Amino acid sequence: MIIRAGTVVTMDGPPIENGAVAVSGGRITNVGKFSDISATNSGEQIVDLGEQALLPGLINAHCHLDYTCLRGKIPPPKSFTEWIRAINAEKANLSPEDYIRSINDGFAEAKRFGTTTLANLTGFPELVSRIQPSIRMWWFAELIDVREPSRANEIVDAALEKLKSTERWGLAPHAPFSASAKLYRRCEEIARSEDVPLTTHLAESREEMSMFRDARGPLYEFLKEIGRDMSDCGQRTPLGHFSEILRDSSTSVGMTQNWLVAHLNELVDDDFDLLARSITKFSIVHCPRSHEYFGHSPFQFDKLCEHGFNVCLGTDSLASNDDLSLFAEMRAFQKEFPNVSPEEVLKMVTVNGARALRQETVLGKIRSGFLADLVAVPCARSTSAFEEIVAFDRPVSWSMIGGQVQNSA
Ligand SMILES: [Zn+2]
């Protein structure tokens, strides 16, 4: 099949005017000018998308489809701890069937907005075998042992059993305040032996900073109340704590490349010294609209990039966001960082997302040999293609995942 479009935005060189992409067996086999591609692939079926921009499918590097059904249920909270209490109260009313519906609705919505790959954290790995994802999906088991830290290894191993049958998976110790050092180390051990990605929430809120650095504040009080051992508080920042628990690991030399760290909003000077010294430059996911909903401290995008970290974007869950559109996420990011070019912003949901999932040789670009995950959006070529793509605010008109057309033009 040959797909022709007014502009092909490859993310692998400048956009190609009157371009085309040849696809066969789920992969991209050729990309270039339509005249060249049609001459070398004569006899192939041609799909002409007209005056549209064809681009790589978008990659959402952090979301929780479990909570798609919680859209609009929790108003922006006064404190992060208040939000945790509110979502726990909502979760008490949900059944496994509700979660399955929620996840399936999430696939449909993400796809409508041009997302073809998702890094999804689920609290219910036991439901994964009952779900057929219609999108390229990484299932991360979200792991929490705050009420039973003695069972850390057991909790990780049970989740592992449920995920191993899926094609793409990873592990997600929830956060240093809800997952023990032992649980983090077990996850890292498994990630090394199974060669899978890891993700976690880190330094998200001011309350997490007060808890770890100063041993006080609402999150500290809340966790103490439910019986967490708080002896690891009052010494280090959340990032300092994270790097310390991994450094202690007998199998670890520090933070590995496997980590996809969500948020990292609360960082002090010492943290930046630590990041500058860190040999491994892990990936960081920023969730602009969830960040705004919570009113976290400004995200230190420029400094993190200067230190060589790979920054990508995610939507987080609909318990702290309005929808699963990465186009809206790109615009929210632009509002925060007007000096970053639209091309750089688009990279964060294509090339950088692929790198975060360690798929940079098959996803995130339109290049021969890459997986045929493509989306199209109208492009009048009145301004730059990148500007038009970032400004796009409707469902995509056409998309393809693994060579299969999903939405028709
Ligand atoms: Zn999250």
User: Per-residue confidence at 121, pLDDT binned at 50, 70, 90?
Assistant: very high
Question: Which residues, at least 6 apart from 316, have a Cβ–Cβ distance to it below 8 Å?
Answer: 62, 63, 64, 262, 287, 289, 290
Q: Look at strands 46-48 and 16-24 and give their pairing.
A: unpaired
Q: Which range, of 24-33, 133-142, 243-252, averages the lowest pLDDT?
A: 243-252
Query: Per residue in 319-375, pLDDT tens?
Result: 999 999 999 999 999 999 999 999 999 999 999 999 999 999 999 999 999 999 999
User: How high is the pLDDT of residue 252?
Assistant: 40
39 CA to middle of ligand 1, Å? 47
Query: CA-CA distance, 41 to 8, in Å (whole number)?
Result: 18
Q: Is the pLDDT of residue 254 over 90?
A: no
| Å from CA of 24 to ligand 1 middle | 36
With a cut of 90, say whether residue 255 has pLDDT above it: no
Percentage above 70 pLDDT, the chain = 97
Res 207 pLDDT > 90: yes
The tokens 């990780």 sit on which residue?
A: 156
Distance (Å) from CA 261 to ligand 1 centroid: 10
How many Å lie between the centroid of ligand 1 and the Cα of residue 64?
Answer: 6
Q: What is the mean pLDDT of residues 92-97?
A: 96
Q: Give CA–CA dist 399/406, Å, rounded.
A: 5
Q: Is the pLDDT reported for residue 247 higher than 90?
A: no
Find the mean pLDDT for residues 141-152: 96
Can you tell me the distance from the alpha carbon of 352 to that of 362, in angstroms, rounded to the nearest whole number? 12
Confidence (pLDDT) at 251: 41
The chain-wide mean pLDDT, for the chain, equals 94
Q: Which has more confidence, 212 or 275?
A: 212
pLDDT score recorded for residue 278: 82
Phi, psi of 333 (to 5 degrees): -65, -45
Residue 13 pLDDT level (bands cut at 50, 70, 90): very high
Give the pairing of strands 115-122 and 58-63: parallel
| Distance from Cα 316 to the centre of ligand 1, integer Å | 5
Q: Residue 262 C-alpha to ligand 1 middle, in angstroms?
A: 7
Using pLDDT thresholds of 50, 70 and 90, give the confidence band for residue 246.
confident
Distance 354 CA to ligand 1 centre (A): 18
pLDDT band at 248 (very low <50, low <70, confident <90, very high): low
CA of 335 from ligand 1 middle (Å) equals: 21
Across 60-69, 183-192, 286-295, least confident range: 183-192
Does residue 234 carry a pLDDT above 80? yes
pLDDT at position 253 is 45
> Using CA atoms, how far apart are residues 277 and 203, in angstroms rounded to an integer?
18
Q: What is the DSSP letter of 214?
A: I
Tokens of 340: 């970053």
- First-to-last alpha carbon distance for the chain, in angstroms, is 15
Query: Can you give the pLDDT at residue 408?
Result: 58
DSSP single-letter state for residue 138: E
Which of 387, 321, 405 has the alpha carbon at shortest distance from 26?
405
Per-residue confidence (pLDDT) for residue 256, from 0 to 100: 67
Per the CB < 8 A criterion, the answer to whether 39 and 17 are in contact is no
d(CA 55, CA 71): 29
